[in-house]
Amino acid sequence: MLQGCGKGHGGSPMKVAFDAGRAGAPEPLSFVVEDTGHFQAFVPRCIGRATLVAGEHTLRIQPKTIVNVACCDIREVRLVPVVPAAKPAKRPNILFIFTDDHAQHAISCYGSKVNTTPQLDRLAAVGARFTNSFVTNSICSPSRATLLTGQYSHKNGVPVFNAFDGARDHVAKRLQAGGYHTGMIEKWHLGTDPTGFDRWIVLPGQGDYWNPEFLVPSGKLTIEGHCTEITGDLGIEFLKTRPADLPENKQAIARDLTRRDLKLEPPRSLEGKELQQWLNEKLMSLEVEGRTLTGDDLVRWKYQRFMQDDLACVQGVDDSIGKVLDFLDEAKLADDTVVIYTTDNGWYLGDLGLCDKRFMYEPGLRVPLIARGPAGSRHDAGQEPRAPLLRGESPAGWRRSVYYRYYHDPGHHDTRAHYGIRTATHKLIHYWKKDAWELFDLVADPYEQHNLLFDAAEAASRPVANTFAALKAELSQLQREYQDDGLYADPCHVAKNRGEWDCSKSSGARRKDDRGGDSLDRGAIIPPACIRWTGLSLEGRCPCAMLLWPPLPTCPTTNGRGGSFPGSRPAGCSAACPAAGA
């Protein structure tokens, strides 16, 4: 409804009744009048929901009591039909094409007299064409910042050509948080590296029309051709190589276990490629003892199969350890032997619905660690151990937190790269390629079900904000202490920090030899045939390029440090990448 109320006259409780006196009428609704400053200053109010059958109805609005001299004015009441819940539609992809300096009247479907634009007309013919669409600051950087944030220039901090603060919330981050795979291609012009995008390749500043140089997460590269055509080709390449449906990871017991994981016996007739396809298939139905299992029944069967297989291995390990300990006793070596047991990583036994490891959540982070000293000394036997840790004591200066970093992204299960810190009470995880954070209170939430940073209001509360800031500071301190400068996370960045590469030259990155010279020229123009999207950046398809960045137009015969590659040149790589089809 549209409701108005004079200054100082608000507060009266109101009753809204439907079909008074009619059988089956819904329960009345109630609301309290809001002071709008004037009785004719109407504001929209949504006061509730009622279930009504199709047809005519009566509506009565009256005060329960009048708090002041007057109550309120009602200008309009609308009953807005609510569509019954239907089966959720498949979430759409979103392709946003944003050009530079394009006049509305330079499009034929807008009445252009000077040119024709059949493809844009084709888009408009089956879509919606807005005739009154305006910007709020008609210049490059400010307009782009407004588009990203939905805020005016005075709110988003980019009134002119100043740098955009990538830490701000914006639409690409929201799309990422909603599970979208996001990409940014071509002109960015916001003075800082893009955030909120899984993959990006952007022009520095305005960019060049011909043979443009691009910025990528790992440095710079130049691509032959005209900028517009290159951008279109890169856009198509991005679409072709997008994840099929972008699950955050692919290690759920319910949907990701393959026949190989479930140790199913393949038909004897299958060989080679067909056998591998059969083993790698993820099952959504399965014949078991004459029954076809699907849905929850299949999930339960998968879980039982997974657990039986895993725990049988654990039992085998345990049995073997028993044999070893028996031998130490029989050989009278136990009194002089320290026995330590641990493992390389934790494992998900269906915890959080997952299998495998990788994530920093507790089941994958925690590992067993058992130590027995000579003569079987152990803490819970009450005997005197030889180290403070075995007495359950913390040595002087003992660490207060544990640092973690996972790199293999996307890897076998599409687990996102992340690093983090765990203290006795909290855990902070940063997915650095997605610019996303998770914060868990391990005392109140030991199963890590509630990310304290998910809800903006909760994240802004003083206790959470203070904890977040303290843990981020501790995380940065540990990275400095452990000298983690991003090794393997960004090869060009790391090599540059080590003095092995010079990524600052406008012509491209150059590798430095031990004498400070340039043994491998990285600055030549890169033919488009040598470029493909992989992971978060472009990478050369030439096998000798490997982690070298940007890709080489030709294959080197030396390794940049005075030595030679085995056989002078990697197998299958000829002098020119495109000609080799590499």
Q: Where are the domains of the chain?
A: 2-76, 104-240, 249-309, 332-415+418-481
Question: Per residue in 336-348, pLDDT tens?
Answer: 788 888 887 888 8
pLDDT exceeds 50 at position 37 = yes
Question: Per residue in 280-306, pLDDT tens?
Answer: 888 888 888 888 888 888 889 988 988
Q: What is the pLDDT of residue 49?
A: 85
Q: What is the pLDDT of residue 549?
A: 30
Confidence of residue 193 (pLDDT cuts 50, 70, 90): very high
Where is pLDDT greater, at 501 or 153? 153
pLDDT exceeds 50 at position 570 = no
For residues 428-451, give the mean pLDDT: 92
Confidence of residue 482 (pLDDT cuts 50, 70, 90): confident
**Model-level pTM greater than 0.75?**
no
From the number of C-beta atoms within 10 Å of its C-beta (0-12, 13-18, 19+), residue 240 rates as exposed
Question: Per residue in 84-98, pLDDT tens?
Answer: 555 555 567 788 888
CA gap 471, 426 in Å, rounded: 8
Pairing of strands 418-422, 537-540: unpaired
> What does the mean pLDDT of the chain come to?
75
* pLDDT > 90 in the chain, percent: 16
Q: What is the pLDDT of residue 391?
A: 66
CA gap 85, 77 in Å, rounded: 24
Q: What is the pLDDT of residue 448?
A: 92
For residues 544-548, give the mean pLDDT: 29
CA gap 157, 135 in Å, rounded: 16
For residues 223-251, give the mean pLDDT: 77
Confidence of residue 222 (pLDDT cuts 50, 70, 90): very high
Confidence of residue 450 (pLDDT cuts 50, 70, 90): very high
CA gap 232, 225 in Å, rounded: 12
Q: What is the pLDDT of residue 555?
A: 37
83-88-91 Cα angle (round to 5): 120
Where is pLDDT greater, at 468 or 562? 468
Q: What is the pLDDT of residue 484?
A: 84
pLDDT exceeds 70 at position 383 = no
Q: Which residues of 147-161 are buried (b: 16+ CB within 10 A; e: fewer)?
A: bbbebebeebebeee
Q: What is the pLDDT of residue 428?
A: 96
Confidence of residue 360 (pLDDT cuts 50, 70, 90): confident
Which residue type sits at 65?
A: T
Least confident of 18-32, 134-148, 178-192, 459-473: 134-148
CA gap 2, 261 in Å, rounded: 61
Q: Which residues of 486-496 are buried (b: 16+ CB within 10 A; e: fewer)?
A: eeebbbbbbbb
Listed in order, strand segments (DSSP E) in 166-247 are 183-187, 199-203, 213-216, 219-222
CA gap 399, 413 in Å, rounded: 32
- CATH no. for 104-240: 3.40.720.10
CA gap 103, 476 in Å, rounded: 47
CA distances from 88 to 84, 85, 91, 92, 386 (A): 11, 8, 8, 11, 63
For residues 4-16, give the mean pLDDT: 88
For residues 302-326, give the mean pLDDT: 84
CA gap 363, 355 in Å, rounded: 10
pLDDT exceeds 50 at position 538 = no
Least confident of 23-37, 249-263, 331-345, 550-564: 550-564
- CATH no. for 332-415+418-481: 3.30.1120.10
pLDDT exceeds 50 at position 515 = no
Question: Per residue in 106-125, pLDDT tens?
Answer: 687 878 777 888 788 777 77
